[in-house]
């Protein structure tokens, strides 16, 4: 892969694509490091051996990452760039991506159109091969295309291609990371990082903690989490957090949540979005959400021994 300049520089890559034989529909695109036109990438799967799919070389040139993707292969390349850490979330325009990508049945025999699964199973049975389907979706799991160095992922099905996982990130079995989202440094992910959400270094998303994305009803507030933050188990945010913030277990703070400040005044969550040093709790007597000034020395961050990946 050749890159030059910033978002306006030219990016060129040679990849391999599976195509449905019957309709000519392009299913995916894989861009491994080091592939060139003189040394194109190669892969195979049972769907190809059985004549359901065919593999072909694909070349993509992106002149400007600020422009939306032109086709499926272009979109796949942008997702690869994210997962390979060559760009960070929001560095590439992904507008219209879903309309370009093919909804595939991701099977143990390779990706196929959903309506081809029964034909694939029948053909595979003649050779004694079972076929399982792990998902029906437009975006595949990341590890089938990119495996970034220095990370641990408990359940590969829960990290989509286009996730940006920094060195030292651990995604536990119940953690989830969507595309165009992820971590910028060592982090513990036991909750959900929704599309577009970025987590700073040395932060911890507790079990079943949730971050509100912008794809479906998330509003206009871009959610992000700074460094040395902790979201307690079953908590959630629809606002940005600066550095050294803690959200109490079970508390969900949205842009419209009413929050009592230390001086007794009441503001909405959007009014404190992005601030650092906050401890957000729910008063167990009144039920009101309160913001208190956090003492960063009370929480020493995630255990570094867990993140020597």
Sheet containing 163-164: which strands, arranged edge to edge?
A: 163-164, 181-183, 198-199, 224-225
CB 19 within 8 Å of CB 31: no
Interatomic CA distance for residues 70 and 26, integer angstroms: 14
Token pair 């699964």 is found at 117
190 a catalytic residue: yes
User: Which residues have C-beta within 8 Å of that of residue 134, sequence separation ≥ 6?
Assistant: 106, 107, 108, 141, 157
User: Which residues have C-beta within 8 Å of that of residue 269, sequence separation ≥ 6?
Assistant: 238, 239, 253, 254, 255, 256, 257, 259
- Please classify residue 48 by burial: count the beta carbons closer than 10 Å to its beta carbon, then call 0-12 exposed, 13-18 middle and 19+ buried: middle
- In 3D space, the residue among 258, 219, 215, 255 whose CA is nearest the CA of residue 237 turns out to be 255
CB 291 within 8 Å of CB 273: no
Strands 11-20 and 53-62: antiparallel
Active-site residue among 190, 221, 227, 248? 190
Residue 121, φ and ψ in degrees, nearest 5:
-60, -40
Distance of CA 279 to the CA centre of its chain: 27
**Residues annotated as part of the active site:** 190
């Amino acid at each position: 892969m050749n890159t030059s300049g910033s978002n306006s520089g030219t990016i060129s890559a040679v990849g391999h694509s599976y195509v449905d034989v019957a309709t000519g529909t392009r299913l995916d695109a894989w861009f491994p490091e080091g592939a060139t036109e003189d040394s194109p990438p190669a892969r195979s799967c049972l769907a190809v051996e059985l004549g359901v799919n065919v593999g072909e070389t694909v070349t993509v040139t992106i002149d400007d990452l600020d422009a939306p993707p032109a086709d499926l292969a272009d979109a796949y390349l942008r997702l690869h760039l994210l997962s390979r850490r060559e760009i960070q979330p929001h560095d590439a325009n992904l507008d219209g991506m879903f309309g370009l990508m093919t909804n595939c049945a991701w099977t143990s025999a390779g990706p196929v159109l959903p309506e081809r699964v029964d034909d694939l199973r029948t053909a595979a049975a003649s050779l004694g091969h079972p076929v399982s389907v792990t998902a029906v979706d437009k975006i595949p799991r990341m590890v089938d295309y990119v495996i970034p160095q220095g990370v641990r992922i408990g359940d590969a099905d829960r990290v989509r291609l286009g996730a940006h996982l920094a060195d030292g990130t651990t995604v536990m079995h119940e953690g989830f990371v969507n595309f165009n989202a992820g971590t910028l440094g060592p982090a513990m992910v036991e909750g959900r990082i929704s599309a577009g959400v970025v987590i700073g270094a040395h932060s911890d998303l507790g079990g079943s903690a949730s971050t509100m994305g912008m794809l479906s009803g998330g509003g206009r507030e871009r959610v992000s989490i700074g460094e040395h933050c902790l979201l307690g188990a079953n908590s959630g945010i629809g606002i940005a957090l600066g550095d050294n913030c803690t959200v109490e277990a079970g508390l969900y703070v949205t842009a419209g949540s009413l929050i009592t400040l230390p001086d007794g005044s009441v503001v909405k969550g959007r009014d404190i979005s992005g601030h650092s040093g906050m401890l957000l709790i729910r008063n167990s007597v009144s039920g009101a959400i309160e913001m208190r000034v956090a003492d960063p020395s009370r929480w020493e961050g995630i255990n570094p021994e867990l993140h020597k990946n």
